[in-house]
Each structure stands twice: as structure tokens, then as C-alpha cells.
Amino acid sequence: MDARQRARMMVAHTVFQALRSADFRNDTPETNASGERVIVPALLDDTMGEFFDQFVAAQGTIYIAALEGTDVVVITMAPAHTARHAAPSEEECPIHRRTELAMVIEYLRARRRPVKFCEAPSNVLLELVDERPAVQV
Amino acid sequence: MSKQKGRAQERGLAVMSPAEPLLEVRWKPDPGSFRDEYFKFPLLGMGQFTGRQGLDIDTGRLVDFSISAQVEVYGLWHNVARVDTAHQDVHLHQLSRTGASIAITVLWPIFGPQDVDRGWVEGERLLIANWDEHVRRWRGGR
């Protein structure tokens, strides 16, 4: 294993430990088309295109987990459902396939609401798990 | 020997009898008392972990599990090693290219949910720490 692979395995280890906790499982409830909870152990300089490929393969929601120091940051990548006749959004999207994960985390923190991933052929919503509102409506 | 002295000696005698065998009562969760949740951890450029958590319906406690380390070859995923709680033990299986177990290491017996939880911690540690070795052995056909 090279240094990046070791770092990725460290994230995987952290996710394994987190998955023992009911709170973590409750925060990551969605599964893919096969009924699996998909969590991608990520490094902060991984690019979004790699996660999008995982999202396409999963055919459903995936979670991206990374370490910031000793803290685990989790992002949800979920199918976005828009109304069939909704007007296209004028909002500029700063996230592209080559955008690094660290930038996306910072952007989501600053924005404090989900963001759409623009280069996807299907709509994808990105959201920070730990900054979700306590009650989903 | 007087009767009194004989009784005194008799009281001081050690009882020499076979030791009673220790009962090893292994534990497994009652069928229907837990639900299965499945997971997958894709490891970009390396492979993936997949598996199952058996969670007690009332408490959410981990009572059963399986974790597999997998590599992809020509679009198909293959198990190279697995840790599970079958047969009331925590086992590490090393798997061949045909999927058969070529080595089974019993990590410890399961006497309660605490042993399952300990098995999850040690099992994932073994799969991660020995990832290279498991993959090399599997690719080498051993």
C-alpha cells in the first residue's frame, strides 16, 4: 500500500468504527438499489468525478466520508427530484468533476443548504450530513 | 487409634474427586430477534469491503456480522478474505480464487454480544492491516 492507500484505509477503519454506533447509522439511513448502505472512504483531495462514478454505479444514494483531523465529515450524494416542468436554475454551480472534496465541504458549510452537482447527466444533490436540520420535513 | 482422633483426621482430609467440566455455553442471537443491514465501502482504486450487520431489533446492538474484502477482476468482484460470526465463533477466512476457504482462523468463541462487537473491531483491523497480503495471496492463486 502506498501512502494514499494507507490514508484511505485509515478512513475506512474510522467508518467501520462509526458504523457500530446507532447514531451514525441513523444519520446515514439511505441505501442503494441493492439495499446496501454505500459509504465511500475518501481523501480530502479526491475529486468529485470519482464519487459521481460511484453514485452512478450504486443507482442510489451514497455517502462520502472523510477525515478532518480526528473528525469524520460525511456528505450525502442523493438523486435530486425536480418538477418535470420546473424552470432551469439560473444559479451558478461551482462544483465540477475535477473539484476536490475539501472545497465542496467548505462550500457546503458556507452555503448551509444542499447544492446540485452540475456535470451529472441526472440531477444529484450534495448535502453535509452533520449539518442537516434536526427534523426533516 | 481412638474414635475421636480418627474423626478429627477424617475432617482434615482433602476431597479427591474429578474436577467438574467447565460448561462452555456459546451464544447466538435468537432468529427473528435481529434485522440485517448491508453495507459497502468502495475503496477507490483498491477494491471494496462489503458485508452485513445483524442488529438487535430492540436495542440496535450488533449481534451478528460478516465483512468481506473484495477485489475486482474484469468487472467481477471476488472475495479474498472474510470475517464472520458463523457457528458461534468469530472467524477469519482466507479465500481461494474459486471462493473456497483455504484457511480458517478462529479468533475467539462467542459467549455474548460483547464478543461479537469485539470481533467486529478486530476483524476489520485484520482485514485492513493484511489487505496487501490477502490480495497478493489471492492473485497468486494460493
Sequential pLDDT tens for chain B (142 residues): 555 556 656 667 776 777 776 677 899 999 999 999 999 999 999 999 999 999 999 999 999 999 999 999 999 999 999 999 999 999 999 998 888 888 999 999 999 999 999 999 999 999 999 999 999 999 987 6
To probe the interface with B, which of A10, A11, A20, A21 has the most B CB atoms within 10 Å?
Answer: A20
Q: Residue B73 belongs to what domain range? A: 33-140
User: What CA dihedral angle connects A20, A26, A31 and A36, to 10 degrees?
Assistant: 10
* Closest C-alpha to A31, from A79, A73, A74: A79
pLDDT in tens, A2-35: 999 999 999 999 999 999 999 999 999 999 989 9
Q: Is B57 on the interface with A (CB under 8 A)?
A: no
Give the pLDDT score at B30.
Answer: 92
CA distances from A83 to A77, B80, B140 (A): 19, 45, 53
CA distance A6 to B35: 33
| Neighboring chain B residues of A8 at a CB cutoff of 8 Å | 43-44, 46
DSSP A103: H
Domain count, chain A: 1
pLDDT at residue A70 in the model: 86
In a 13 Å sphere around the CA of B105, the CA atoms on its Cβ side amount to: 12
Q: What is the pLDDT of residue A48?
A: 93
**What is the complex's ipTM, to 2 decimals?**
0.87
Distance of CA B18 to the CA centre of its chain: 32
Residue B97 falls within a domain, yes or no? yes
How far apart CA A126 and CA A117 sit, in angstroms, is 7
* Beta carbons within 8 Å of B51's beta carbon, 6+ residues apart: B38, B39, B65, B66, B67, B68
Which pLDDT score, from 0 to 100, does residue A72 have? 92
Q: Helices (H) and strands (E) in chain A — how many of each?
A: 4, 5
In a domain, A127, yes or no: no
Encode pLDDT of A54-93 as tens digits.
999 999 999 999 999 889 999 999 987 765 555 555 566 7
* pLDDT value, residue B74: 92
Q: Is A22 on the interface with B (CB under 8 A)?
A: yes
- Taking contacts as CB-CB distances below 8 angstroms, the residues of chain A near B117 are 20
Any domain includes A53: yes
Measured in whole angstroms, how far is the alpha carbon of residue A52 from the centre of its chain?
9
Number of Cα atoms under 13 Å in the Cβ half of residue B127: 32
Q: What is the pTM of this model?
A: 0.85
3-state secondary structure (DSSP) of residue B37: strand
Q: Do B40 and A20 touch (CB under 8 A)?
A: no
In a domain, B21, yes or no: no
Determine, yes or no, domain membership for A129. no
Amino acid at B105: T
Are A101 and A64 in contact, with CB atoms under 8 Å apart?
yes
Chain A residues lying within 8 Å of B53, measured CB to CB = 19
Number of domains within chain B: 1
Residue A134 located in a structural domain: no
In a domain, A137, yes or no: no
pLDDT at B51: 98
**pLDDT of A118 strictly over 90:** no
| CB contact (8 A) between residue A20 and residue B124 | no
Domain carrying residue A57: 3-119
| pLDDT at A135 (0 to 100) | 38
Query: Which residues face B43 on adjacent strands?
Result: B47
Q: Å from A36 to nearest chain B CA?
A: 5
What integer pLDDT is reported at residue A31 of this predicted model? 95
Distance between A45 CA and the closest CA of chain B, angstroms:
13
Residues of B whose CB is below 8 A from A50: 44
Identify whether the C-beta of residue B83 lies closer than 8 Å to the C-beta of residue B115.
Answer: no
pLDDT-derived band of residue A133, with 50, 70 and 90 as boundaries? very low
Question: Is A49 among the domain residues?
Answer: yes
